């Protein structure tokens, strides 16, 4: 057998591959994973019979990716996950890919709802996830927390030498009188993924919302950067009638507990 004939036996020709691709087109859509976000409706109706509403909606898109919320001290009031099967648990399991919603009460008003994302939401699913969450919760103001890689940052500053934290607001939020929690995001810097989908959802609907985005050199995060985020978030919460939640962020014991749970080590850091 000629060597080229033997190669044809193990290597399909382009014509064969094209025929297989054309035959797979009609059923290809059935194998795509849909962008699903399912709420635990029974639990929501029990705890919030008049619907989910709050003064401030706080969504942490990716603060501790891959860190399980199983055994958390706060009890989840509903679960909106990427998988429909995961939404039936009142307490998250280690195997669940879901996010939990927590209620942070205030002395007056509707308080704060905190949405903790346990796993990163893929870019192609971000818009559907944002519609599902923001469409179910009514709020006076929304604050989104996100991160971006240092190579995508276009501005002054070195993320390896200092903490870079910026804010971006919708037009409705700009019209309100509130202190800016962080410098504005430099022109030319593009934020993508879930943080962008959340802010865009509010912008086109003329809703008050702002994004606090951290510039990171490494995906694991640093304690100094998270401490800077806590300070900026405290300013944002104080500006929109959430003093109790803002005061908790000023408590050193609370921040120390957060540092231990995230495994970030000591508060002091030395830059390389």
Which residue numbers in the chain have pLDDT < 50? Answer: 1-7, 71, 73-90, 267-272
Residue 272 lies in a domain: no
Residue 1 lies in a domain: no
Residue 249 lies in a domain: yes
Beta bridge partners of residue 85, listed in sequence order: none
Cβ atoms of residues 167 and 182 within 8 Å: yes
Residue 10 lies in a domain: no
Per the listing, tokens 């989840």 go with: 76
Residue 58 lies in a domain: yes
Beta bridge partners of residue 60, listed in sequence order: 116, 145
Helix (H, G, I), strand (E, B) or coil at 9: helix
Residue 3 lies in a domain: no
- Which pTM was predicted? 0.72
Q: What is the pLDDT of residue 170?
A: 94
The domain tally of the chain equals 1
Beta bridge partners of residue 119, listed in sequence order: none
Cβ atoms of residues 133 and 35 within 8 Å: no
CATH code of the domain covering residue 40: 3.40.50
- Domain span at residue 100 reads 34-262
Q: Where are the alpha helices (DSSP H) in 147-192?
A: 171-174
Residue 45 lies in a domain: yes
Sheet holding 164-169, edge to edge: 78-81, 98-104, 112-117, 52-60, 137-149, 209-216, 164-169
Residue 38 lies in a domain: yes
């Amino acid at each position: 057998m000629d060597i080229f004939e033997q190669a044809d036996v193990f290597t399909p020709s382009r014509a064969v591959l094209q025929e297989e691709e054309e035959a797979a087109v009609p059923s290809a859509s059935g194998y795509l994973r849909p962008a699903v976000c399912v709420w635990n409706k029974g639990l929501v109706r029990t705890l919030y019979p008049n619907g989910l509403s709050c003064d401030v909606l706080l969504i942490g898109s990716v603060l501790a990716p891959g860190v399980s919320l199983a055994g958390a001290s706060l009890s989840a009031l509903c679960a909106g996950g990427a998988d429909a099967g995961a939404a039936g648990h009142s307490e998250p399991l280690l195997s669940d890919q879901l996010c939990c919603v927590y209620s942070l009460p205030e002395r007056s008003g509707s308080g704060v709802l905190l949405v903790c994302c346990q796993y990163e939401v893929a870019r192609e699913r971000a818009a559907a996830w944002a519609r599902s969450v923001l469409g179910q919760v009514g709020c006076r103001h929304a604050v989104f927390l996100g991160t971006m890689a240092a190579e995508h940052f276009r501005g002054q500053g070195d993320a390896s030498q200092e903490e870079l934290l910026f804010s971006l607001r919708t037009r409705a939020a700009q019209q309100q009188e509130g202190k800016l929690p962080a410098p504005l995001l430099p022109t030319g810097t593009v934020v993508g993924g879930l943080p962008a989908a959340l802010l865009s959802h509010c912008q086109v609907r003329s809703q008050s919302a702002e994004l606090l985005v951290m510039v990171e050199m490494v995906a694991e995060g640093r304690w100094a950067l998270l401490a800077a985020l806590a300070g900026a978030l405290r300013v944002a919460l104080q500006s929109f009638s959430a003093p109790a939640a803002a005061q908790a962020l000023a408590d050193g014991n609370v921040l120390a507990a957060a540092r231990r749970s995230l495994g970030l080590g000591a508060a002091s850091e030395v830059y390389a």
